[in-house]
Structures are given as C-alpha cells and as structure tokens.
Structure 1
Amino acid sequence: MLRIAVCDDDKEAVVRHKSIAEQCLRECGCAGETLSYTASENLLYDITEDHFFFDLILLDIEMPGSSGMELAEKIRPCLPDVKIIFITSHIEYAIDAFELSVFRYVPKAEIEKRLAAAVRDAVKLIMLEEGKTYTIRTSSRLEKIPYKEIYYIERDGKNASMTTARGVSKVRKSLQKVYEELNAEEFIYIDRGCIVNMIHIMQIRHGMAVLKNGESLPVSRSHLQEVKEEINDYWGRHI
C-alpha cells in the first residue's frame, strides 16, 4: 500500500491536492492512503521522530517555518527513496529542485493540468520499483536484495561486489553473470567493471554518474554517450 503526504499551509490547496492524489491512486489501481499537513514542522516531526514512512510527498515550497526546500533536505536522510513533487509559484526553484533529486516540479498556475500527471507517473515508478529481488545463495546464507536497494555492482576479482542501501554484499560470480541474472532494464554498464541502477542516478556531470547516496562513479568515455541515451530512453518510456 502506497503512502502519500500532502503538505501546504493553504488548507484549500491541501484538500484539492489530496483529492487529486487519491483519484490518481484509483486510476492506477493502487491501494494507498493520503495524509494531510498544513505545517511543515508537523510533517518533519512525523518522519524524523515518529518514523512515518511515505512513498510520495506533494510539497509546497513557500511555507512559513521550514520551506519545502529545507524540508526536503531534512527528510532525505530518513526517506532516501521518497518521491517528492514540488508545487510552487516561483519558477526559479526548478533548478534547485533538480539538485535535490526531486521527482517533479509543478507550477501552481498549472496545477489542474500537470499535478495529476505527475502523481500518476510517480505512482507508476514506485510500482515499477517494487517487488523484484536478487538472491545471493551460499552454503551458509540466503540473502534477498530488492532491486530498488541496489546502487551499483562492481567487479572484485572473481566476485561481484554489490553496494546497496544495507551495505555491501558479495557474490562469487562474474559481473556479466550477475547482470544477466538481474535481467532488468534499469541496470546498465557505465564501465567494463561497473553496473549502475539507473533509478539512483541523479545526473551525469563531468563524466561522473552522481548517485542519490552521495557517491560519484566514473563513466568511461566509450560508454558516456550510450549511458546518457539509455537514461533518457528509460525515463522517456516510464515517466
């Protein structure tokens, strides 16, 4: 079940945005619940102190107290995979929103036209990321790792070293063998010795793949253009 938070200091806007989000869940055939907030501090408290989990947050930027930008920075460590849709009347925030790895930016002047599409796309992506796991079997353990938690996989001698949200796991298989077993379009080679999960790439900058976990990985010159094209193609088909 998906959990959505709607946060705006304008009570009428909260009601309107909550209604749009719930309608989108019904259209996508997805079970979920939507919680409303009119104060950014309350949402922040629920996430950081009461450990509320949300898959998607609809967030107004211009609010008293903590702004939407400040709030997004504070909740990222608690909810690294949460999708955030910023709603604002100031277009200059769009660049900053990209730097925060925000899923979508919706101008208030185009709420009716663009918010529903943004929510539907976010829900589709969340559903796409759910459910798939990679299993590591040894004589002493069996470990199932959700695809969405895998950041990247590197060649490590005769092993493949998998960096995930939980830490590092090693499997005694070649990198190519792991790639074939994953059999998922979101995993791409950025170098002969490294596979990255595209859903965690924030941007390609100066020949580096910048990931949501703060790491930057070098993209080989021979792969650079192909990597850019694959990322654009992937998001073009799914978003």
Structure 2
Amino acid sequence: MIRIAICDDELQELDRSHSYLAAYMQKHPQYEIKVHSFSAPLELLSFVTEHGGFDILLLDIFMAGMLGTYAARELRQLGDNSEIIFITTSRDHAIEAFEVEAAQYLVKPFAEARIYAALDKIIQRIDRERRVIVTLKTSEGITRIAPRDVAFTETGRNNYQIVHTIQGKKIEVRMTASELFELLSQNKFFVRCGASLNLNLKYIRQISKNTITFDTGEYITYPYRSYQKLKEEFLRFQCSQRNNMCQLPLK
C-alpha cells in the first residue's frame, strides 16, 4: 500500500489535491493507495509522531502557524523519510525545500500533468524498491529485508555485520562487508566507506570529518582518510536530488 498525506490549511486547495489523487488512482488501479488529509501542520506532526509516517506528502508552504518547509524539517528530525511534493504559490522557498530533500516543488498555477508525472516517478520508484528483497543469514537463522529499509551496516564482533534499519532494529549477519554491499547495492543509494561500513546516502543527515549522523538519530565514527571521498559522494547525491526536485517555471 502507498500511503499519501495532504496538508493544506485552505479547504479549497485540500479538495483540489484530493481531486488530483482521485484522478490518479482511477488511472492507476494497479496501485493500492490510501489518502489522509490534514488542515494544519501540527495535526500532521502529531499523527506522524504517534502512528508513523507516510510514503508521500503533498505539502503546502504558506499555512497558518507554521510554514510547510518548517514542518518538513521537523518531520526529518523525527526520522521521517517520506517523499515530499511541495505545492505553493512562490518560488522563494525552493532552497529550504532542497535542504529537506523534497522530491518536487510545484509552483501554482501548474499543469495537472506535472503533478501526475511527479507521482508516477515517486510511486514507480517506491514500487521497484519494495520488490527488491534480499535474504540474509543471521545469528538466529534466515531473514529477508528490503535494502531501502537499511540505514547503514558496520562490522561488529567476530566479523559479523550489524545491519541498522530505519525502524531501529539491529540484525547480525554472517557475511563480509563487501558481500553484504553486493546485495544492498541493488539500491543505488548505497556506498562503501572504508573496509567495514556500508552507507545508505538517503538516510545520512550530517557528515563531519570523523562522524556520520543518520536520520534515525544514530551516529558512527569512521576513518578520517575516507572523509573526502564520502563528502564528494554525498554532495553528488544531494545535487542529483536537487536536479530532480527543482523544475520551476520561468518568469
């Protein structure tokens, strides 16, 4: 199931977004989609805190009490990794949208085809990623996991690999770091860091010269000699996300 949330404090715009999604669902019956609506950012934040996040957010920016970009930043700090589509009347917040890794930034008025194209791209990617499942030998037997759910892996005791998931689980795996990378790299966001770390760039919040912090709140230390290469890979990833996101109409 694809879970989509709409957040807009104007009823007319909320209804408009609902109509976009209803039309999309009618054209794509192969996807099971569930839609939730919120008329205020605080309602959305409260729901996510209590019940977990969504796959996709359609988020207005100018709302009473809190900007949508600020709400998105709060969601990221909660560890939420939903794909965000900002729908707004201004180009002025595109940089803030990039900083929270938004998938798309649509400035009204826009052709309906643009939001359908954005949904297509995101949902097809989610569908592909969910179909990729790897089987791992663990200390307790066999487990199956989607690479998209892995934040990072590190080498632990007795050369076991410890898989850290975005849900906060830790799984001990009987294989080398390079063998594990071969499986996880079916997800294009994975990179090696030194001999013992496999990192999902999508979930990295911050990189310093010897520490990596993840959206899950976890952090790890790593060799300083890997800093330059990792920084370059992370910047390339950020730039690719930015190119996908910012398609603003010309003035």
Counting only pairs closer than 5 Å after superposition, residues 153-172 of structure 1 correspond to structure 2 as 153-156=153-156, 158-165=159-166, 166-172=168-174
Q: Which residue of 2 aligns with 1:179?
A: 181
1:35-62 Cα deviation digits (max 9, x unpaired): 333333433343334x265221101010
Q: Which runs of 5+ in 2 are unaligned?
A: 245-251
CA contact (8 A) 1:159 1:173 kept: yes
Alpha-carbon separation, structure 1, partners of 2:106 and 2:47: 25
Which amino acid counterpart does residue 88 of structure 2 have in structure 1? T
Q: Which runs of 5+ in 1 are unaligned?
A: none
Alpha-carbon separation, structure 1, partners of 2:180 and 2:242: 23
CA contact (8 A) 2:209 2:227 kept: no
Q: Cα 1:96–1:32, aligned 2, differ >3 Å: closer, same or farther?
A: same
How large is the RMSD of aligned CA atoms in angstroms?
3.6
Q: Which residue of 2 aligns with 1:24?
A: 24
Deviates more, 1:224-233 or 1:99-108: 224-233
Which amino acid counterpart does residue 56 of structure 2 have in structure 1? L
Identity of aligned residues (%): 26
Q: Cα 1:27–1:153, aligned 2, differ >3 Å: closer, same or farther?
A: farther
Residue 25 of structure 1: how far off its partner (Å): 3.9
Q: Which residue of 2 aligns with 1:194?
A: 197
Q: Cα 1:212–1:79, aligned 2, differ >3 Å: closer, same or farther?
A: closer
Q: Cα 1:98–1:205, aligned 2, differ >3 Å: closer, same or farther?
A: farther
Find out whether 1:5 has 2:5 as its counterpart: yes
Deviates more, 1:148-157 or 1:170-179: 148-157
Find out whether 1:42 has 2:46 as its counterpart: no
Residue 83 of structure 1: how far off its partner (Å): 1.7
Q: Which residue of 2 aligns with 1:212?
A: 215
Alpha-carbon separation, structure 2, partners of 1:131 and 1:10: 37
Q: Which residue of 1 aligns with 2:114?
A: 114
CA contact (8 A) 1:201 1:210 kept: yes
Q: Which residue of 1 aligns with 2:91?
A: 91
Higher relative contact order (CA 8 A, sep 6+): 2
Residue 32 of structure 1: how far off its partner (Å): 0.7
Instruction: Normalising by structure 1, report the TM-score.
Output: 0.76
SS at the partner of 2:73?
Answer: helix
Residue 73 of structure 1: how far off its partner (Å): 3.2
Alpha-carbon separation, structure 2, partners of 1:118 and 1:42: 25
Counting only pairs closer than 5 Å after superposition, residues 223-238 of structure 1 correspond to structure 2 as none
CA contact (8 A) 1:4 1:35 kept: yes
SS at the partner of 1:92?
Answer: coil
Q: Cα 1:52–1:191, aligned 2, differ >3 Å: closer, same or farther?
A: closer
Alpha-carbon separation, structure 2, partners of 1:52 and 1:168: 19
Q: Cα 1:30–1:203, aligned 2, differ >3 Å: closer, same or farther?
A: farther
Which amino acid counterpart does residue 183 of structure 2 have in structure 1? E
Counting only pairs closer than 5 Å after superposition, residues 59-78 of structure 1 correspond to structure 2 as 59-76=59-76
Aligned pair count reads 236
Alpha-carbon separation, structure 1, partners of 2:7 and 2:234: 36
Residue 225 of structure 1: how far off its partner (Å): 5.5
SS at the partner of 1:54?
Answer: coil
